Every structure is written in structure tokens, then in C-alpha cells.
Amino acid sequence: MSKPFDMELFLAAVLTGSYATRQRHLRQAKLIQAEISERWQLETPWGWKRKHVAWFLDHRLARQCKATRYYYLLTVRLLALRLERAWFFK
């Protein structure tokens, strides 16, 4: 029996800022993980590719306001930093 993936532990090394900011990043990262997991059955960020995250930003956030998309982009940048990948998005 495997344990569920702990996003808080995964992002602990790169999370900075106030408590509210850290909690927002964690909440958004968990939502990104859930959406990608549902669509592609990839439970952990280690298996993600740029196309998975781009799909989330382009399709799942399409109807959101610019500010919401910006905050999710900041969270994606933290995920990329933690994964040590050079992902760039518009």
C-alpha cells in the first residue's frame, strides 16, 4: 500500500514568503496535481512534462481572469524550479 503524494513536502524547499502565500501555492499545486492526475494518470510531478502543465494553463484556466492565471503561473514556476526544469510559459 503506497502513501499519497505529499505536495507540501515536495515544495518545502522552494516555498518562501508569507504564510498566506505559501498556502496559496500549496492549494494551487494540489489542484494542478489533481487535474493532471485525472487527465493523464500521473500521480506525481516527477512524471510531468511541459505539455501537461501547458494543458492545465491553457485549457483549465481558459475562462479565469488574468490575475488568477498569473498566480497559477507563479505556482508553476515554483514547480519547475523544484523539478529543476527550464519550462517557460507566456
Query: What was the pLDDT predicted at 77?
Result: 97
Alpha carbon distances (Å) from 1 to 4, 38, 53: 10, 20, 28
CB 73 within 8 A of CB 57: yes
pLDDT in tens, 46-76: 999 999 999 999 999 999 999 999 999 999 9
